[in-house]
A and B are shown apart, each in its own frame.
Chain A
């Protein structure tokens, strides 16, 4: 079972920031928070991941609470092409790369014009 909970859906206006929440209250100290998205029926696309510090890349920002029990993915200027199902996943990150990804139901983000 997935270790995260997300709202089933969210709407956002084009050009505005989209803040996608995720709860992971049982996260362990050695587990990272990963975000992926799946646009229509394409392959999942990696967005960002973090352990405890906030992270930012060219796609998004990840804000993790100090107790690490929840996080927020921020798309600073949402576009219509950001409409997708977003998955928040926690997993152990190791040098061996052996940990499978456990996908939940995700959250459908719809960006409206």
Chain B
């Protein structure tokens, strides 16, 4: 059973561009979570989604960030008009009932 998959693993964007991060949950998992880890800081929750629904987005910045988990395909975290402060590691986790399993992360660098 493959684990949580994220791509790309590394992403470089210039200020003002868009970043799209993809997360494929473990087989059989219908819950997806996104977390962000800024340099030298701990992980912070961003958003929790089930298929086609956003359940909790209390950790998402109000502007420029959005997330979706369509009926088919991976979950997408989208960052519009990136700024240098968006440079971070973005981790996705998935669960079936309780325990969350994490992917390897996407490291976003904004130049």
Chain A interface (Cβ < 8 Å from any Cβ of B): 32, 34, 36, 38, 41-46, 49, 93-95, 97-98, 100-106
Cβ contact within 8 Å between A100 and B59: yes
- Of B89, B97, B102, chain A has the most CB atoms within 10 Å of the CB of B102
Given contact pairs A41-B89, A42-B104, A43-B104, A105 touches B42 in the complex (Cβ within 8 A): yes
**Distance in Å from the Cβ of B12 to the closest Cβ of chain A?**
16
Shortest CB–CB separation between residue B70 and chain A, in angstroms?
Answer: 19
Residues of B within 8 A of A (CB): 4, 31, 33, 35, 42-45, 48, 55-56, 59, 89, 91, 93, 95-105, 107
Determine which of B4, B59, B97 lies in contact with A97 in the assembled complex, contact meaning CB atoms within 8 Å: B97
Q: Is the interface of B mostly helix, strand, loop or mixed?
A: strand
- The reply to whether A97 and B95 form a contact with Cβ atoms under 8 Å apart is yes
Interface pair A45/B55, CB less than 8 Å apart: no
CB nearest to B46 among chain A residues: A100
Chain B residues whose CB sits within 8 angstroms of the CB of A36 once the complex forms = 102
Contact in complex: B42, A98 (CB < 8 Å): no
Please name all residues of chain B whose beta carbon is closer than 8 Å to the beta carbon of A102 when the two chains form the complex: 45
Residue numbers in A under 8 Å from B45 (CB-CB): 100-102
